[in-house]
Amino acid sequence: MLRKHRNEDLIVRRIAHSFPPSRSQTVRQFLSLGIGDDAALFRPKPGHETILTCDWSLEGTHFFREKHPPDSVGWKCLARAVSDIAAMGGAPRCFLLSLALPETHTGRWLSLFLGGLRRASRKFRCALAGGDTTRRNEILINVAVVGEVRSGSALLRSTARPGDFLYVSGRLGEAELGLQIVRRGQGAASKNNLLIRKHLYPEPRLALGQWLVKKGLATALMDLSDGLSSDLSRLCAASAVGARLEKAKIPRIPAPWAAVKHGCDPMQLALHAGDDYELLFAVPPSKAKLIPETFRGLRLTAIGRITRERQLTLLEENGRARQLLPRGWDPFRRTQ
Amino acid sequence: MLRKHRNEDLIVRRIAHSFPPSRSQTVRQFLSLGIGDDAALFRPKPGHETILTCDWSLEGTHFFREKHPPDSVGWKCLARAVSDIAAMGGAPRCFLLSLALPETHTGRWLSLFLGGLRRASRKFRCALAGGDTTRRNEILINVAVVGEVRSGSALLRSTARPGDFLYVSGRLGEAELGLQIVRRGQGAASKNNLLIRKHLYPEPRLALGQWLVKKGLATALMDLSDGLSSDLSRLCAASAVGARLEKAKIPRIPAPWAAVKHGCDPMQLALHAGDDYELLFAVPPSKAKLIPETFRGLRLTAIGRITRERQLTLLEENGRARQLLPRGWDPFRRTQ
């Protein structure tokens, strides 16, 4: 096979070409220098703090070269990191893309990848500011996102208080079920399937996070990336509290449909499956009545309460309580 | 072999433990929220722009597990990215660490790695703000650094002008020679060797970059990470100019010593070898007399001039001129 010679500068130019300097006045205002120099220059908004976060997206760990459309890999590597901005109640501004890939993937694969990344970049209003590229046998991606939030108003994990109601957005377990369908190789033909879309093209809950900040409704906020049981346990540890969940209330995939069609337990998925990028937040009792049933079409559900006792309890449908252990996604746990 | 169970949260706690919240008033002022939440919060300095950059440090590409001390891997992954801040004339503030590593390396290797990283973090006054960790067979590192520079005063690559004098700091080719010694396995015993130190523990030229900005002496600035011929060619392309170098003036390792002891050509190293992290800058003729021979013990050398003609020329010691092609480090070039 004849391969074209592509050097690093050429790849940087291809990326720059896919992300032409924005004509948007807003972007020009905060991104004073984009890709091409030693570093990028960002002009912070007065009265705001800068939010910083980064996320790995690694072949074999977070996606499969043969199973996941490159367009989705591009979309999702940015969406995952932007979800951390939503989890602080902020607005994304720009990102750095670190990309390592085989020479065989600097053609069509790269184009499709950049296409998905560009769509996500526009959708989330998060401009490409710079990055680093190198050659590697495996496809490795790291995305660092810069966001902003009015000074002092970011919502943290560490500020939930006993008595707060716990809410989640959306329906949990959908993305994992989507992944299972994709792994079975049924993904390409049915991109419009809701579960597959949620797995391939997650939508960070930016509007919801910003609304919670603006209205001052929540005491604590985080996003669900590793599964409810693991992430809630982190929120509780950070806040030095516990939580008591009502199993019946946890929003999940309808049981007969999930079980019959996909042979899985929707409650297990809702409790432990990752990658949903929904928001989990705590609301003081005095403000719970201000939380609507849906926010811009997205369901919001009270699933339990924060407790003083520092453990996670799941109240079964038969009224019995049992301890809930963190069993979500953990790359260092070998017994999954 | 018995391996302890280490999960992701435990590794994050180990990292947090290695980087306790700073007691420095300055750090507390700009880093309002460090590791442990969904994202970090940075409080920008009024009147300043934020500098953003990131760099891969990948096993097999940028370092070798068996050859490079983990302490050096930790130091250098930060130093490389901080050098991009020096290259804008800015000051580093904080960084995000993305780390993927095998479970076998979450013990002693991680401790030593974090030791080197912490020393670099203190030396460069660049605090750990957050990051992402995962498990991987290979050691993968990505560091994103946030710096600051007074608004409008950052020095770019794209602003060199014909007639400017070109300067470099230090002596070129030293780091590559250091690498060759380390690859031969002679590194561990002779960490004090200057060449090996320059390869293992590079020092970004922060003070020099900041001084050039403060005194308004340079029209353009970049750091030398991929070799003079490649990096100068990038500066010239960005500024739409060319350059003419005088071979005799290029600061290099003394010839007999390099050639006899290590069997290499010091001029080839000085022109094309990477990893030196020295600064390359352009100075208008009216200000050239203000550039001292040394800056805080670091040699500064005028090596040529910027030309209107858009190509790189090397004036040989015999007076003949030849074209200089970019032959520095490029991960996508296969004929190195």
Q: Which two structure tokens, joined as six digits, stand for A126?
A: 């998060």
Pick B51's closest partner by Cβ from A39, A84, A333.
A39
Judged by a CB distance cut-off of 8 A, whether residue B27 touches chain A is no
Question: Is the minimum CB–CB distance between B21 and chain A shorter than 8 Å?
Answer: no
Q: Which of B134, B224, B119 is nearest to B172 (CA)?
A: B224
Helices (H), chain A: 8-18, 25-30, 70-86, 108-123, 174-183, 194-200, 206-215, 228-239, 255-262, 266-272
Cβ-Cβ contacts under 8 Å, A130 against chain B: 52-54
Residue A295: count of CB within 10 angstroms of its CB: 16
Only one residue has tokens 């006899």, namely B260
Output the pLDDT for position B10. 84
CB B272 within 8 A of CB B227: yes
A16 touches B: beta carbon within 8 Å: no
Contact yes or no for A51 and B61 at CB 8 A: no
Using a CB–CB cutoff of 8 Å, tell me whether A170 touches chain B: no
A191-233: pLDDT as tens digits? 558 889 999 999 999 999 999 999 999 999 999 999 999 999 9
- Could you say which of B42, B130, B134 has the minimum Cβ distance to residue A61? B134
CA B290 to chain CA centroid, Å, is 25
Q: Both tokens of residue A4?
A: 């074209």
For the cut 50, the answer to whether the pLDDT of residue B336 exceeds it is no
* Segment A286-336, tens digit of pLDDT: 999 999 999 999 999 999 999 999 999 999 989 899 999 988 877 766 443
The 10s digit of each residue's pLDDT in A134-181 is 999 999 999 999 999 999 999 999 999 999 999 999 999 999 988 888
Across A122-138, average pLDDT: 95
Instruction: Compute the residue count for chain B.
Output: 336
C-beta separation of A266 from A252 below 8 A: yes
What CA–CA distance (Å, rounded) separates A173 from A280? 14
Separation of alpha carbons A316 and A304, rounded Å: 12
Chain A nearest-CA distance from B104, in A, is: 11
Here the tokens at position B312 are: 């790189």
Is the pLDDT confidence value at B1 over 60?
no
Instruction: Specify the pairing of strand B91-101 against strand B140-150.
Output: antiparallel
Distances (CA, A) of A136 to A108, A153, B99, B172, B209: 17, 41, 17, 27, 32
**Of A130, A135, A333, Cβ closest to residue B7:** A333
Q: Which residue of A has its CA nearest to B32?
A: A49
Rounded CA separation A218/A226 (Å): 21
Q: What is the ipTM of this complex?
A: 0.93
Q: For an interface test with B, which of A1, A3, A37, A134 has the most B Cβ atoms less than 10 Å from its Cβ?
A: A37
| B275 in A contact zone (CB under 8 Å) | no
Q: Give the pLDDT confidence of B126-185 residue by residue, as tens digits.
A: 999 999 999 999 999 999 999 999 999 999 999 999 999 999 999 999 999 888 888 887
Residue linked to tokens 């902003």: A148
B51 touches chain A (CB under 8 A): yes
Per-residue pLDDT at B196 exceeds 70: yes
- pLDDT of B54 reads 97
Q: Which of B56, B68, B76, B71 is nearest to B141 (CA)?
A: B56
Q: Quick one: closest CA in A to B57, which residue?
A: A134
Look at residue A180 in the predicted model and tell me its pLDDT.
Answer: 86
Q: How far is B222 from chain A (nearest CA, A)?
A: 7
The verdict on A33 touching B (C-beta cutoff 8 Å) is yes
What pLDDT is attached to residue B333?
Answer: 64
Contact B51 A37 (CB under 8 A): no
Q: Give the 3-state secondary structure of residue B82.
A: helix
Question: Which residue spans within B27-162 are E strands per DSSP?
Answer: 31-33, 40-42, 48-58, 91-101, 127-135, 140-150
Helices (H), chain B: 8-18, 25-30, 70-86, 108-123, 174-183, 194-200, 206-215, 228-239, 255-262, 266-272
Tokens 């800015």, residue located: B90
Largest CA distance in chain A: 68
